[in-house]
Structure 1
Amino acid sequence: MIGLGDIRIVAIEQYGAGPFGSLHLAELGADVIKVEDARTGGDIGRHVPPFQSEDDSLFYQSFNRNKRSIALDLSVDGGRDVLHRLVSECDGVLHNLRGDVPEKLGLRYEDLAPYNERVVVCSLSGFGMTGPRREQPAYDYVVQGLAGWMELTGEPDGPPTKSGLSLVDYCGGLAAAMSLLAGIHVARRDGVGGDCDLSLFETAVAMLSYPATWHLTKGHETTRRTRSAHPSIVPFGAFPTADGWLMLACAKPKFFGRLTEAIGRGELAADPRFATLEARQRNNDELIPLLDAALRTRTTGEWVTRLNAAGVPCGPVNTLKEALKDPQTRHRELVVETPHPHWGTVRHVRTAGRGWWPLPAPRRAPELGEDRDDVLRDLVGLDDAQIAELARDGAFGTTQSTTPADAARDETA
């Protein structure tokens, strides 16, 4: 059996956070059945530009490899009936809908337990299914601002800045996948499932980590540091070289000593102003110009070679193109290819999940409703006549395409 091949997930998901979480489960071998809204052309991610065509996009392909798709209209009895049949044959349900929507659509554990008391229902909403913000929609960038991230990011004299990637979405998806697997473990052990109520907001606040501890315990206000510097460790940040930028991370005292020797300024390690972590932090404004002057004498590549040999944690500040061509990227086979009828060969970065067990080969993300008949025949046991009757009753919607504007519903996280 391939990895998580004994786990089946029904994913009522769209856009980034939910699909990113279930993508990790799918690439570790789980059978992820993606339930898309037949009324709106499916996952809104299908309509994200710039690389979009009809009901597909490269954005959608990035988040939905190795899944199966079925389009349902959950506002009609037939659509709900199909969903309940799927729930009866699955281990978990994952959805990233606004906090008040699961109750409206009957997607809480109490709604689904009659069809499978062992099912685990994982909700990844913007703010959770309880609390004063429960009914508010939320997206990654909004939550970054709300949770204090943007106040901590960027140059000291610049505007509040988001992270370069949608890290709240991605980390929320990973937290949901982890919670869902934990819930399935508990359900298999105890024989009863339940709700996992997660939110993007909680994910972002939890990731405040030690700056939050400093503030809550000592009232400390962490401020932005120039050039992506660490809030307490010096030197730790971006430094200019003769032809670009170098990231240094002297997180331990021994690394600073190695750095000063490698740049020909060994005396700095013995200087009382810089001899300890606390002293370097206090005298940061004196130390950094000295390091800058030394590091500007060679290229980034030369410094990386020299500092790696000295055992100093460092690396170039790569462009996206350079990162994807890095020898480590190639060696770890992080780029995978999937053939696609419209896009030709789509090249992706794989998820980070690993194990000693066999992993499934990468498959392109499914077309809208592509796996409907196979899922309903093989998993649920319906025959062609029953599927046709459900179609006539509107279970699968009246259309499987729409405009991006129509697809932009407010029921996501």
Structure 2
Amino acid sequence: MKPLEDVRIVSLEQYGAGPFGSLHLADLGAEVIKIEDPRVGGDIGRYVPPYAEDEHSLFFETFNRGKKSISLDLGTAEGRAVFEDLVRVSDAVYSNLRGDVPAKMRIRYDDLKHLNPRIVCCSLTGFGMTGPRSAQPGYDYVLQGLTGWMDLTGEPDGPPTKSGLSLVDYSGGFVAAMALLAGLHAARRDGLGMDCDVSLYDAAIGLLTYPATWHLTAGYTPTRTRHSAHPSLVPFQAFRASDGWLVVGCAKEKFWQRLAVVIGRPELVTDPRFITFATRRQHRDQLVALLDEVFATRTVAQWVELLQAASVPSAPIQNVAEALTDPHTVARGLVIETEHPVLGRVRSVASPVRVGEQPAGYQRAPLRGEHGEALLRDLLGYDEARIRELDRAAAFGGEPRSDDAEPEAAAR
């Protein structure tokens, strides 16, 4: 069994951050039931270009592998009733919405505890459910700017720069998954659920880590560094070789001593300017200028071979294609495949979360509403008459009607 096969999560998630968090829970075996709003065509991630066809996109496949989907209009009384029945038989309600929306939708613990006292309500929002920005929408780009990330990124004489990946979104997803699991542990121990108020803003501020401590405690002003250099460890940065770039990191004195030997300058180890971390930082410009000249004399491959033979932390700076075909990527099984009825073979990256033995096999992301009928019948025990009643009341989308048409919308 996978570690989380005894966990059921009802998810009101969309786009990237929320689905990214629950993706790893699904890969670990949790049953993640996506409630998709039929009024807007379900999760907006289904339509993200450029690799999209109708309701199917590689973006959506990336973040929703292994989940189930049901189309449900929570704006109707009947749709709400189905949602509440799902809450009764689930362990958690997970969402990523604007901070004021969970209260409006009545999906917080106080709203649901009468249905299931052990339910954990994990809300990943842009700015949290309290504070002056709580009603504002939060997006990765906006938050990278607001929380100091862009000010710290890029060359010193260049513009503020975002990370090449949506790391606020992904960090928020990981934090939400951690909070949800902690909440589940406490609920099973104590018999009572709770709210988990998680936000992208909190995650981004929390990841300022030691520069924040330095600033708050000692008045340090974080600044951008040339060639992605570490703010205090020298040398630890990117260097240009004759045919590309590599990263060299001397996080310990022994690595600096080895590096000096590799580049043919062992006398630098005893040079008073470079003898300790503190003096190398003080004379950073002189040392880096010297190293720039040295590294320009050989290729990336030549330097990496020499440095790694001497156990100096180093690596070529690879592009995405090179990273995905790196022998270590292959050896770790980090590229996986699923089959999609429209998109065909989908190759994507595996979850980095490993717990015990990794079971083989991954399931594709769900079609919109694909599991609706099975969930209604098998999980909730609805009979044909009840499903027809819900369909006529537009619980699965569309307009209410009085006819006896078959309940097809539940599977759309």
TM-score in terms of structure 1 length: 0.95
Query: What are the within-5 Å matches in structure 2 for residues 86-235 of structure 1?
Result: 86-235=86-235
The equivalent of 1:368 in structure 2 is: 368
The equivalent of 1:29 in structure 2 is: 29
Are 1:255 and 2:255 matched, yes or no? yes
Structure 1 residue 377, shift from structure 2 partner = 1.3
2-side partners of 1:216 and 1:353: how far apart?
A: 33
Structure 1 residue 104, shift from structure 2 partner = 0.9
Instruction: Please give the per-residue CA displacement for 1:207-236, whole angstroms capped at 9, x wherever unaligned.
Output: 000111111111110100011111111111
Structure 1 residue 71, shift from structure 2 partner = 1.3
Q: For the Cα contact (< 8 Å) 1:84–1:115, is it kept in 2?
A: yes
1-side partners of 2:157 and 2:228: how far apart?
A: 13
2-side partners of 1:126 and 1:171: how far apart?
A: 12
Q: For the Cα contact (< 8 Å) 1:22–1:32, is it kept in 2?
A: yes
Question: SS state of the match for residue 281, structure 1?
Answer: helix
Q: For the Cα contact (< 8 Å) 2:171–2:203, is it kept in 1?
A: yes
Gaps of 5+ in 2: 400-412
Structure 1 residue 297, shift from structure 2 partner = 1.7
Q: For the Cα contact (< 8 Å) 2:127–2:202, is it kept in 1?
A: yes
2-side partners of 1:358 and 1:58: how far apart?
A: 24
Relative to structure 2, which stretch is displaced further, 263-272 or 95-104? 263-272
Question: SS state of the match for residue 197, structure 2?
Answer: strand
Q: 1:52 to 1:194 in 2, by over 3 A?
A: same
Question: SS state of the match for residue 220, structure 2?
Answer: coil
Q: For the Cα contact (< 8 Å) 1:27–1:360, is it kept in 2?
A: no
Aligned length: 399
Q: For the Cα contact (< 8 Å) 2:20–2:63, is it kept in 1?
A: yes
TM-score in terms of structure 2 length: 0.95
1-side partners of 2:143 and 2:359: how far apart?
A: 34
Structure 1 residue 358, shift from structure 2 partner = 4.7
Are 1:50 and 2:76 matched, yes or no? no
Structure 1 residue 271, shift from structure 2 partner = 0.7
1-side partners of 2:91 and 2:259: how far apart?
A: 52
Relative to structure 2, which stretch is displaced further, 141-150 or 359-368? 359-368
Q: For the Cα contact (< 8 Å) 1:87–1:119, is it kept in 2?
A: yes
Identity of aligned residues (%): 58
Question: SS state of the match for residue 248, structure 1?
Answer: strand
Question: SS state of the match for residue 114, structure 1?
Answer: coil
The equivalent of 1:403 in structure 2 is: none
Q: For the Cα contact (< 8 Å) 2:56–2:343, is it kept in 1?
A: no
2-side partners of 1:200 and 1:274: how far apart?
A: 41
2-side partners of 1:11 and 1:334: how far apart?
A: 26
Structure 1 residue 114, shift from structure 2 partner = 1.1
The equivalent of 1:331 in structure 2 is: 331
Deviating beyond 2 angstroms after TM superposition, the runs of 4 or more aligned structure 1 residues are 357-360
Query: What are the within-5 Å matches in structure 2 for residues 318-397 of structure 1?
Result: 318-359=318-359, 361-397=361-397
Query: What are the within-5 Å matches in structure 2 for residues 295-334 of structure 1?
Result: 295-334=295-334
Q: For the Cα contact (< 8 Å) 2:250–2:256, is it kept in 1?
A: yes
Whichever residue aligns with residue 59 of structure 1, its letter is F
Q: For the Cα contact (< 8 Å) 2:239–2:245, is it kept in 1?
A: yes
Higher relative contact order (CA 8 A, sep 6+): 1
Q: For the Cα contact (< 8 Å) 2:56–2:342, is it kept in 1?
A: no
Instruction: Please give the per-residue CA displacement for 1:277-321, whole angstroms capped at 9, x wherever unaligned.
Output: 011111011001111111112111111111111011111100110
1-side partners of 2:358 and 2:270: how far apart?
A: 52
Structure 1 residue 141, shift from structure 2 partner = 0.7
Question: SS state of the match for residue 239, structure 1?
Answer: strand
Q: For the Cα contact (< 8 Å) 1:239–1:246, is it kept in 2?
A: yes
Structure 1 residue 363, shift from structure 2 partner = 0.9
Give the aligned CA root-mean-square deviation in angstroms: 1.0
Structure 1 residue 360, shift from structure 2 partner = 5.9
Gaps of 5+ in 1: 400-413
Are 1:4 and 2:19 matched, yes or no? no
